[in-house]
């Protein structure tokens, strides 16, 4: 599951997640280093790695982060920072960048890390892995590299975040296999895989690569990552000291908080729980095309109670889908649709839907807390005579079914990003993955083209936000926190993940 | 053997097939069964009455009640989304019960039907059915369910139907095995001869034989079904939108750190219901099976029972202390069996017998008169639940009943046994020779070589033409007549003084009967054996016995020399026996 | 005897083919769904289509099955759709885990249930009651609840055993023992419960046979009767019981592996089947069916060795 990555948190794991508001300060990497060399860091993952194919490091992608280096690291807002590229410039029209590749680094098979190697990777990726990079033209001259997209993409910088680069020999070998399989990870990262002590699917062991240019940021000589698929197994391992850190869920949070010798890192609100009313033109369910109906739906949820009770205080009421502090976020926004069931009923009657209608909402077992949320959502919508048909999805088709357009109003605890352009691309644009009905909207298209052209980006992002609020395209409910439990022997100042879901490998001190 | 005069109620043979009415009554009298049935009915009511009795609907959420502990508002507390657990369990009962019923119905209809057809007609159908059954058993059930899940989604009825298919081979094998056995029974042949159609035969007789084990298995399958349903939910293959016991358990389990108590309720109801079904299954096993599992009396109980019955009325026909030429003397032996209510039901009310040197003593009576009991008691091989309430068995003056060690020493060596049914009395897993050797070497101190020679010679003596081949053969490789000769050989091998023969010719063809009797008489003449010959066949008595005792209702009613008995029977009962058997049997045997 | 063996083998192969084909067809037809799950939600339609072709999921059912079967016959079980790992490698690391769990539980089950079953049948009394009680209890309480109780009591509170994880015996023998103790115990309770009472029945049944009485009448000491004759005759039914038990154990292992985070086949099955990782699922099915068939074959052979009548068949 390569790109399921960021979304995986909310899709595959029942995790209540939050990101530290301290984020804004802790953007640069490599400064916190200098702690004395330490022994072994053992981390738990709740899902196995999706193989060693280079892709943007996934949710809980510490193994990939350990063994590969990337062209750029990004800060919490998605701005590229030096890594393999030690100096670089991005063009202002979001079509290209030029970078100088740091010299003196080697892949673990002896190949040199240079502009040619990076080009090999980018060329391969554009064809074989990431069609968003399609048509990317890459040229090298000495240690410098220039990459140009065929057309402007405001998310270009985000796209380039965490592009991990394997050795060109590894790429060549993969191309010979049937499925572009990377059997072994050959990277130039801060650690090297210890194949002897590794059992795929169970435990991955890495030893420190002292030649890594930023090795001082990684104080641990050995890194062990264990796969512990159940929450219970993970918390038990943490409590008995078998691992030093793991993501917590709403089920295991209390245990970690009350256990001696454990600390809990709060990652505040990297998810927005929301209904996505993607059928704003009423093509699938006519009622949803009516603005009053959508507004009424917004008004039957007691966000304060949800945050305090349903999420047990580990959430904050949300009135907009974007992350506080991101560009699209409108600071100080007052609740545009306060909790008022009577008023909502009146709106429904006004719209001519006093008798309500039926709407199917998909639910995936153990997917994103939906099974915990749906009873409440169903109950509240029923107050408006809106009957919710809960549709359980399962098996290999569940995601394609979920996003296929049959269910015009999914309920999901979806990520929000430090770089709100990502949210707009995924949720608001007609082509957005989660905009499952993919219905056109000239207003949004108009504003977006301005953003593409680079005009007043921040103001226009907020304009889009306001538009979606006015049009009640979403029913934002709460920002749900994530929690990471760790031994008090390990120091984590905060997470620099721009999705805010977990501490990155270099955040462990 | 017809009996025109009313016969007083004889003792119930412990192996009699209980009829329907008595089975139901016994079930209802068993306190464990009753409590289980009451509990199960309550559970069913719990589920069916949910729409009226449940405090709230299964999905009603109260955000203020999240993870609430048990209280007046929520008797069993609330779960992680604020739903009342009691209500969810009540509503979920229907789901769970439906799941189990589906498994049962599917597996029974498939398995029993296939078993009936395969067992009755055999042939190609059976081969195919066996193969299919093998395939199904090899299918890892959970795997199949998971693969199916990706196809059908969380559709519990379908999943349970699939599990029913997976479980059906066990019914198939059970039923097929029984039908194959029953099919060869005489009454099925009789029905065929009379002209009953196959369906009637199957419907009436075969199904009848099968119903007991199927009912019993059903109880266990239902119990397993609940576990399966909960397991399926636990693995995440269930329907998250429907409450069921398993899904409530799974949700509580995921939430265990926040609300540990919430796991207790679904776990409890699941466990108790499975428990009730399993216990019920055990009781049904006892009630419906032909071999009733009778509890053995403990040593203390034994002593108590013996003491209770110490002063029971002595037998009619008591004999004076044995004379010196009496080899084996039985005095006042009383035998009883536990009646299931802490007491004992006496089946032998005090029997006196004398067997002189070289004498063949016939012990006659109808089935259930207690004659076999006496025979077993002299050897000490009564079933373990039997209680000897009193009496003595004197072998050359030594009381064997008084000292079990003495009985063990005498058994096989001085007093030996010839059983009734030849085939079932030979261990099918060992060769004839091995069994004979074991018996002989336990009773004597012969070496292997000596024993072998001795036995081979003896086999020849009892009329087996190829002793070496028989020695090496397995019981299923020889005929019934030969088997009986082998058993006789085994009995006399250690050169005993007394032989107890329990209906030795009853199971044999008429021609073979005569030969065996001849053999017994010959052995008696050669070795001066004393014999007790238990039989209901007065022809045999006339043929070979010297003295006769007539038993009825656990008592000896008449005791005479054989000629006197046939000429001038004293008792009315004896006269009846003679009359009826003259009509049927004596005319056959010369 | 040889003919029978060949027939049995042919049958086994037939079963293998049918089971694998049925499983394969159940997972067939989800090409785009699987491809999307592999690539993630970010992937474009073009990416998804390319992956479908790459994984061979656009081929008809028989072609795909044929390819897989061909691979199996040459020893290549394919590679995982999701991780690219060779299926044989994935299985090689996981089979020992599940086998340790199942085999050890099985051996202990055999020993303990035979002990309990025989004692209960022969002596009756309190042992018989204990066996009945255990049978009922073991059947009633789901194994995962037993697992939770064990974890709470012995791993978290008393810290005698690790709560999760598996140490392979070549890394540390003591570690291996301690990591599988709790999982084995959790499985053992239910396993003994079923087996002991059935063995008890089988033994009781034999004890009630006529020939046992006749052997007693010959003067054979009770001990010899039980250990030589009764056990020999109860062996056949006993083996059947234990054979079935093995199959149930494999199923039970799935759940236990999840609770204790043991990287075994059961856990692999669950994940890969739900994701639609067909090569892995097929690999697991193959292994499991093979194990079941071997167990059946062995118990048939052993049964024939014990029962002279069956040797004719």
Which domains are present in chain A? 272-479 (3.10.105.10)
Q: How far apart are CA C160 and CA C153, in angstroms?
A: 9
What was the pLDDT predicted at C171? 67
> Which range among B143-147, C98-102, C272-276 shows the weakest confidence by mean pLDDT?
B143-147
How does residue A342 score in pLDDT terms, banded at 50, 70 and 90?
very high
Residue of A nearest to C40 (CA): A4
Of A230 and B369, more confident: B369
- Confidence at C141, pLDDT banded by 50, 70, 90: confident
Per-residue exposure over C113-124, b if at least 16 CB sit within 10 Å of its own CB, e if not: bbebbbbbbbeb
Nearest to C218 among B412, B430, B476 (CB): B412
Nearest Cα to A410, choosing from A2, A7, A6, A5? A7
Interface test with B, best of A392, A407, A477 (most B CBs within 10 A): A392
Instruction: Answer left, alpha or beta for residue B412, where phi above 0 means left and psi between -120 and 50 means alpha.
Output: left
What the block records as the tokens of A465 is 């936000």
Judged on CB neighbours under 10 Å (0-12, 13-18, 19+), C28 is middle
State the residue for tokens 């007093």: B415
User: Which pLDDT score is estimated for B313?
Assistant: 60
Write down the H helix ranges in A287-418: 291-299, 303-305, 341-350, 370-382, 398-402
Shortest alpha-carbon distance between residue B232 and chain A (Å): 12
Q: What confidence score (pLDDT) does residue B584 get? A: 64
- Contact flag B282-C144 (C-beta cutoff 8 Å): no
Question: Is the pLDDT assigned to residue A414 strictly greater than 80?
Answer: yes
Q: Please give the pLDDT value at position B292.
A: 45
Q: Which residue, B426, B118, B137, is CA-closest to C300?
A: B137
Tens-place pLDDT, residues B356-365: 988 999 999 8
Please report which confidence band the pLDDT of residue A22 belongs to, taking 50, 70 and 90 as the band edges. very low
3 state DSSP class of B501:
strand
Structure-block tokens of residue C295: 């167990």
The nearest alpha carbon in chain A to C161 belongs to A240
Interatomic CA distance for residues C57 and C40, integer angstroms: 17
pLDDT tens digits along B465-518: 899 999 999 998 898 888 999 999 999 988 899 999 998 888 788 888 888 888
CB half-sphere exposure, B364, CA atoms < 13 A: 30
Measured between CA atoms, how close is B250 to chain A, in angstroms? 11
Render pLDDT for A239-271 as a digit per residue (tens, 0 to 9).
Answer: 888 899 999 988 788 888 888 889 999 888 888
Nearest CA in chain C to B294: C124
Instruction: Give the chain C residue nearest A129 (alpha carbons).
Output: C47
Residue with tokens 């309920």: A411
Tell me, yes or no, if A252 comes closer than 8 A to chain C by beta carbon: no
> CB under 8 Å to A446, separation ≥6 — which residues?
none
Residues B255-259, mean pLDDT to the nearest whole number: 78
Whether pLDDT at A318 is above 90: yes
- What is the value of pTM for the model shown? 0.77
Q: Which of residues 511-570 of B touch C (CB under 8 A)?
A: none
pLDDT for A154-202, tens place per residue?
Answer: 888 888 887 889 999 999 988 887 777 788 889 999 999 998 888 887 8
Give the residue from chain C lying closest to A239, CA to CA. C156
CB contact under 8 A, C219 and B412: yes
How many percent of chain C have pLDDT more than 70?
A: 94
Confidence of residue B21 (pLDDT cuts 50, 70, 90): low
Alpha-helix residue ranges (DSSP H) falling in C208-230: 210-217, 222-224
Task: For chain B, list the contacting chains (3+ Cβ pairs, <8 Å).
Answer: A, C
3-class DSSP state of B537: coil
Q: What's the whole-number average pLDDT of chain A?
A: 84
pLDDT band at A18 (very low <50, low <70, confident <90, very high): very low
Kindly determine whether residue C210 and residue B298, on different chains, have CB atoms separated by under 8 Å. Answer: no
Helix (H) or strand (E) holding B500: strand B498-502
The answer to whether A478 faces chain B, any CB pair under 8 Å, is: no
**Mean pLDDT value across residues A280-285:** 91
A95-124 pLDDT tens trace? 889 999 998 899 988 888 989 999 999 998
Give the Cα separation of C211 and B417 in Å (integer): 12
Neighbours of chain C (3+ CB pairs under 8 A): A, B
Span of A31-40, A339-348, A358-367, B443-452 with lowest mean pLDDT: A31-40
| Residue to substitute from B66, B240, B250, interface A, most A β-carbons within 10 A | B240
**Cα–chain center distance at B442:** 29
Query: Above 80 in pLDDT, residue C136?
Result: no
Residues 6+ away with beta carbon under 8 Å from C80: A51, C86, C87, C90, C272, C277, C279, C280
Tell me the two tokens of residue C204. 């009781």
- Pick from A371, A376, A393: CB nearest B61: A376
pLDDT-based confidence at residue C222 (cuts at 50, 70, 90): confident
Model pLDDT for residues C56-79, shown as the tens digit of each residue: 888 888 999 999 999 999 988 988
| Nearest CB to B254; choose among A251, A306, A397 | A251
Q: Is the pLDDT of residue A13 over 60?
A: no
Neighbour count for residue A463 (Cβ, 10 Å):
19
Which whole number is the average pLDDT over B151-172?
Answer: 83
B238 touches chain A (CB under 8 A): yes
DSSP states of C250-302: HHHHHHHHHHTT--SHHHHHHHHHHHT-HHHHHHHHHHHHHHHHHHHHHHHHH
DSSP C122-183: HH-HHHHHHHHHHHHHHHHS-HHHHHHHHIIIIIIIS-SS-SS----TTT-HHHHHHHHHHH
Average pLDDT (A275-297) is 92
Compare CB distances from B140 to C217, C250, C309 and report the shortest one's residue. Answer: C250
Mean pLDDT computed over C48-56: 85
C161: left (phi over 0), alpha (psi -120 to 50) or beta: beta
Distance between A412 CA and the closest CA of chain C, angstroms: 14
Higher pLDDT, A476 or B308: A476
| Higher pLDDT among residues B1 and B197, named by residue | B197
- pLDDT score of A472 more than 90: yes
The answer for residues whose C-beta is within 8 angstroms of residue A455's C-beta and 6 or more apart is none
Contact between C36 and A226 using a beta-carbon 8 Å cutoff? no
Structure confidence at residue C255 (pLDDT): 77
- Looking at the DSSP bridge assignments, the partners of residue B392 are B331
What is the C-alpha to C-alpha distance for residues A145 and A90, in angstroms, rounded to an integer?
A: 12
Residue C189 to residue C134: CA distance in whole angstroms:
8
CA distance B435 to chain C (A): 8
- Asked whether the beta carbons of residue A131 and residue C46 sit closer than 8 angstroms, the reply is yes
Distance CA B247, CA A372 (A): 13
């Amino acid at each position: 599951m390569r790109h399921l990555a960021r979304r995986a948190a909310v899709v595959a794991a029942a995790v209540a997640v939050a990101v530290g508001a301290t984020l804004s300060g802790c953007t640069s990497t490599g400064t916190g280093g200098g702690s004395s060399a330490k022994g072994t860091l053992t981390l738990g993952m709740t899902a196995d790695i999706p193989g060693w194919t280079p892709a943007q490091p996934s949710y809980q992608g510490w193994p990939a982060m350990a063994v590969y280096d990337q062209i750029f690291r990004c800060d919490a807002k998605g701005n590229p920072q030096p890594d393999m590229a030690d100096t670089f410039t991005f063009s202002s029209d979001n079509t290209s960048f030029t970078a100088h590749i740091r010299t003196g680094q080697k892949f673990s098979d002896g190949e040199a890390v240079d502009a040619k190697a990076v080009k090999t990777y980018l060329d391969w990726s554009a064809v074989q892995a990431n069609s968003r990079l399609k048509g990317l033209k890459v040229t090298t001259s000495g240690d410098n590299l220039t990459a140009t997209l065929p057309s402007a993409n405001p998310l270009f910088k985000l796209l380039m975040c965490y592009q991990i680069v394997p050795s060109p020999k590894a790429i060549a070998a993969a191309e010979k296999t049937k499925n572009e399989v990377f059997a072994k990870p050959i990277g130039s990262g801060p650690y090297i895989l210890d194949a002897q002590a590794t059992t795929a699917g169970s435990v991955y062991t890495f030893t420190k690569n002292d030649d890594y240019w930023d090795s001082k940021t990684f104080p641990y000589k050995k890194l062990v990552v264990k796969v512990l698929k159940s929450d219970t197994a993970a918390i038990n391992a943490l409590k008995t000291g078998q691992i030093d850190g793991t993501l917590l869920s709403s089920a295991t949070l209390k245990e970690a908080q009350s256990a001696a010798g454990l600390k809990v890192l709060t990652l505040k609100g990297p998810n927005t729980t929301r209904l996505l009313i993607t059928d704003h033109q009423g093509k699938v369910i006519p009622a949803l095309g009516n603005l009053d109906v959508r507004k009424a739906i917004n008004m039957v949820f007691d966000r304060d109670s949800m945050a305090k009770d349903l999420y047990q205080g580990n959430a904050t009421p949300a009135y907009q889908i974007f992350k506080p502090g991101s560009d699209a976020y409108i600071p100080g926004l007052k609740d545009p649709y306060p909790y008022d069931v009577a008023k909502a009923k009146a709106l429904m009657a006004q719209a001519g839907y006093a008798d309500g209608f039926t709407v199917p909402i998909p639910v995936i077992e153990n997917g994103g807390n939906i099974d915990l949320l749906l009873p409440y959502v169903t109950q509240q919508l029923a107050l408006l005579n809106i009957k919710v048909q809960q549709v359980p999805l399962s098996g290999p088709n569940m995601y394609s079914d979920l996003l296929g357009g049959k269910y015009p109003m999914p309920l999901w605890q979806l990520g929000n990003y430090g770089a709100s352009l990502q949210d707009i691309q995924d949720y608001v644009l007609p082509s957005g993955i989660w905009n499952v009905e993919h219905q056109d909207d000239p207003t949004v298209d108009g504003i977006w083209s301005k953003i593409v052209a680079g005009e007043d980006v921040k103001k226009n992002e907020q304009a889009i936000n306001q538009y979606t609020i006015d049009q009640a395209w979403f029913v934002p409910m709460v920002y749900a926190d994530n929690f990471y439990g760790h031994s008090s022997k390990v120091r984590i100042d905060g997470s620099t993940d721009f999705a805010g879901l977990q501490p990155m490998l270099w955040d462990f001190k | 053997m017809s009996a025109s005069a009313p016969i007083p109620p004889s003792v119930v043979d412990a192996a009699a097939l209980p009829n329907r009415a008595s089975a139901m009554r016994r079930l209802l009298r068993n306190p464990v069964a009753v409590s289980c049935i009451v509990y199960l009915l309550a559970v069913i009511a719990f589920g069916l009455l949910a729409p009226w009795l449940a405090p709230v609907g299964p999905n009603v959420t109260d955000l203020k009640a999240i993870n609430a502990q048990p209280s007046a508002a929520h008797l069993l507390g609330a779960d992680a989304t604020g739903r009342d657990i009691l209500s969810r369990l009540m509503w979920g009962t229907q789901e769970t019960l439906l799941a189990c019923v589906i498994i049962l119905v599917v597996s029974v209809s498939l398995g029993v039907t296939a078993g009936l057809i395969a067992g009755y007609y055999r042939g190609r159908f059976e081969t195919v059915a066996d193969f299919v059954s093998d395939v199904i058993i090899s299918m890892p059930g959970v795997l199949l369910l998971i693969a199916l899940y990706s196809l059908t989604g969380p559709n519990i009825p379908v999943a349970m139907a699939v599990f029913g298919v997976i479980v059906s081979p066990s019914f198939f094998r059970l039923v097929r095995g029984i039908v194959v056995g029953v099919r060869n029974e005489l009454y099925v042949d009789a029905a065929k001869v009379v002209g009953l159609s196959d369906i009637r035969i199957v419907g009436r007789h075969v199904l009848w034989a099968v119903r007991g084990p199927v009912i019993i298995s059903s109880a266990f399958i239902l119990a397993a079904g609940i576990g399966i349903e909960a397991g399926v939910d636990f693995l995440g293959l269930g329907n998250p939108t429907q409450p069921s016991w398993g899904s409530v358990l799974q949700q509580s389990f995921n939430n265990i750190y926040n609300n540990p108590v919430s796991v207790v309720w679904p776990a409890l109801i699941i466990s108790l219901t499975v428990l009730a079904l399993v216990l019920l299954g055990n009781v049904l096993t006892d009630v419906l099976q032909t071999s009733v599992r009778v509890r053995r009396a403990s040593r203390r109980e034994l002593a108590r029972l013996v003491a209770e019955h110490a002063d029971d009325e002595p037998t009619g026909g008591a004999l004076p202390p044995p004379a010196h030429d009496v080899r084996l003397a039985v005095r006042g032996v009383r035998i009883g069996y536990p009646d299931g209510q802490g007491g004992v039901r006496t089946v032998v009310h005090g029997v006196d017998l004398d067997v002189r040197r070289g004498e063949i003593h016939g012990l006659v009576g109808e089935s259930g008169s207690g004659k076999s009991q006496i025979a077993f008691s002299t050897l000490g091989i009564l079933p373990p639940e039997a209680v000897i309430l009193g009496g003595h068995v004197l072998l050359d003056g030594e009381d064997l009943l008084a000292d079990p060690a003495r009985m063990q020493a005498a058994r096989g060596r001085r007093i030996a046994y010839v059983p009734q049914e030849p085939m079932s009395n030979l261990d099918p897993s060992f060769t004839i020779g091995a069994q004979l050797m074991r018996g002989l070497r336990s009773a004597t101190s012969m070496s292997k070589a000596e024993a072998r020679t001795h036995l081979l010679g003896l086999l020849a003596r009892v009329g087996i033409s190829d002793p070496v081949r028989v020695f090496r053969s397995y019981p299923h490789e020889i005929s019934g007549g030969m088997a009986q000769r082998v058993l006789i050989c085994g009995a006399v091998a250690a050169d005993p003084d007394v032989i107890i023969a329990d209906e030795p010719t009853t199971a044999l063809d008429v021609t073979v009967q005569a030969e065996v009797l001849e053999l017994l008489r010959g052995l008696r003449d050669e070795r001066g054996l004393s014999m007790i010959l238990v039989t209901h066949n007065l022809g045999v008595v006339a043929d070979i016995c010297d003295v006769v005792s007539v038993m009825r209702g656990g008592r000896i009613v008449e005791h005479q020399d054989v000629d006197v008995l046939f000429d001038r029977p004293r008792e009315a009962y004896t006269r009846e026996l003679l009359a009826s058997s003259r009509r049927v049997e004596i005319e056959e045997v010369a | 005897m040889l003919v029978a063996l060949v027939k049995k083998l042919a049958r086994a192969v037939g079963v293998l083919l049918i089971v694998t084909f049925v499983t394969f067809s159940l997972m067939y037809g989800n090409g785009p769904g699987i491809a999307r799950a592999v690539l993630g939600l970010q992937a474009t339609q073009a990416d998804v289509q390319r992956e479908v072709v790459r994984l061979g999921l656009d081929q008809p059912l028989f072609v795909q099955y044929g390819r897989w079967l061909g691979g199996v016959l040459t020893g290549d079980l394919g590679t995982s759709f999701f991780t690219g790992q060779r299926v044989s490698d994935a299985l090689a690391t996981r089979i020992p885990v599940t086998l340790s769990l199942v085999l050890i539980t099985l051996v202990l089950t055999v020993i303990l249930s035979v002990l309990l079953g025989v004692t209960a049948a022969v002596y009756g009394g309190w042992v018989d009651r204990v066996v009945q009680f255990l049978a009922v209890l073991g059947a009633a309480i789901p194994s995962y609840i037993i697992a939770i109780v064990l974890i709470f009591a012995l791993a978290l509170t008393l810290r005698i055993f690790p709560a999760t994880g598996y140490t392979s015996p070549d890394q540390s023998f003591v570690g291996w023992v301690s990591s599988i103790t709790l999982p084995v115990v959790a499985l053992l309770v239910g396993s003994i419960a079923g087996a002991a009472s059935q063995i008890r029945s089988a033994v009781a049944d034999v004890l009630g046979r006529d020939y046992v009485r006749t052997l007693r009448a010959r003067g054979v000491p009770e001990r010899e009767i039980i250990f030589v004759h009764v056990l020999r005759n109860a062996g056949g039914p006993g083996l059947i019981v234990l054979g079935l038990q093995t199959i149930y154990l494999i199923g039970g292992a799935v759940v236990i592996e999840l609770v204790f985070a043991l990287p075994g086949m059961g856990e692999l099955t669950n994940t890969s089947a739900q994701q639609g990782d067909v090569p892995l699922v097929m690999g697991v099915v193959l292994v499991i069916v093979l194990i079941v068939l071997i167990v059946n074959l062995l118990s048939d052979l052993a049964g024939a060795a014990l029962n002279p009548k069956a040797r004719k068949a």
